[in-house]
Amino acid sequence: MLITFFRSIVLYIIVLIVMRLMGKREISQMQPFELAISIMIADLASIPMTEIGIPISNGIVPILGLLIMHLIISVINIKSITLRKIICGKPSILIYRGKIDEKVLKKERFTINELQERLRRNNVVNLGDVEYAILETSGEVTVILKPEKRGTIPEDFNIVPEYEGISYDLVVDGRVMNENLKKLGKDYKWLEKQLVPFKMKPEEALVVTLDGKGQIFCQKKEEKRG
């Protein structure tokens, strides 16, 4: 029992490292070859995890082999457009200029009901509002609405919004994010001064953030009750 426990921990760590090296895609955004490798890794890890008689290396070596294969295919995808189309396929246009392409639907084995379901996931309830619907190689459907159905943006009114930038975490759960302070050209003393109006020290804050306009948001941690 104890051996199985430790083998599970080792294989979990190996699989976690391998998946991190494979990248940060979500499952729904994986290419077919990535999904296939992920499924195979899960199977390879489960066998030596439960079967004590099988050497743990029988699972680790093939998993590392799949990682190498994944890295090779990823490089090929970057270098060759032709091979990329063979390995990953290419996007298919399900709706072109407001008209459903029946041939493409049949080719991709898509029903009208499934197309409507995918559109609803994109907050589109009316087929007549769609200019283009593209089935991506990851299986996701990208929807482009007709011009008159799209939401207005500042550019439509010749308005140029002010630059906002990104928000930086300065304190998270009482821990000062020194790396972010350095990026902003600030230090701990500056942070202390900013929190004086809020009557708290950095270590007492649940969260402190600084947005692109220089505005600070902060919230104090709840006091622990004895």
For 134-160, how does the pLDDT look when each residue is reduced to its tens digit (9 = 90+)? 998 878 899 999 988 888 778 878 888
Question: In percent, how much of the chain has pLDDT > 90?
Answer: 39
Write the CB contacts of 143 (distance below 8 Å, at least 6 apart in sequence): 119, 122, 124, 130, 132, 133, 134
SS3 state of residue 141? strand
- 68, pLDDT greater than 80: yes
Mean pLDDT along residues 75-79: 84
Nearest to 124 by CA among 112, 116, 136: 116
Q: Where are the alpha helices (DSSP H) in 99-186?
A: 102-107, 112-121, 178-183
Half-sphere exposure of 175 (CA within 13 A, CB side): 4
| pLDDT tens by residue, 80-111 | 888 887 777 889 999 999 999 999 999 988 88
Nearest to 92 by CA among 117, 115, 125: 115
CA angle 136/140/142 to nearest 5° reads 70
Same fold, 92-149 and 168-220: yes
Whole-number Cα distances in Å, 95 to 91, 118, 124, 125, 135: 12, 12, 13, 15, 9
For the CA atoms of 112, 117, 123, 127, the dihedral, rounded to the nearest 10 degrees, stands at 10
The whole-model pTM stands at 0.63
Question: Residue 77 corresponds to which amino acid?
Answer: N
Residue-level pLDDT at 13: 83
Angle in degrees, 0-180, between the axes of helices 2-22 and 57-79, rounded to the nearest 10: 10
| pLDDT tens by residue, 181-193 | 999 999 999 999 9
| pLDDT tens by residue, 15-67 | 878 777 766 555 556 677 777 788 888 888 887 777 777 788 888 888 888 88
Question: Residue 91 corresponds to which amino acid?
Answer: P
Write the CB contacts of 221 (distance below 8 Å, at least 6 apart in sequence): 173, 174, 204, 205, 206
* Cα maximum dimension of the chain: 71
Cα–Cα distance for residue pair 97/104, rounded to 1 Å = 14
Residue-level pLDDT at 175: 93
Of 3.10.350.10, 3.40.50.720, 3.20.20.80, 3.30.240.20, the CATH number of 92-149 is: 3.30.240.20
User: Token digits for 128?
Assistant: 């007549």
Domain ranges within the chain, ordered by starting residue: 2-86, 92-149, 168-220
The CATH homologous superfamily for domain 168-220 is bsu07140 like domains (3.30.240.20)
User: Token digits for 31?
Assistant: 């290419």
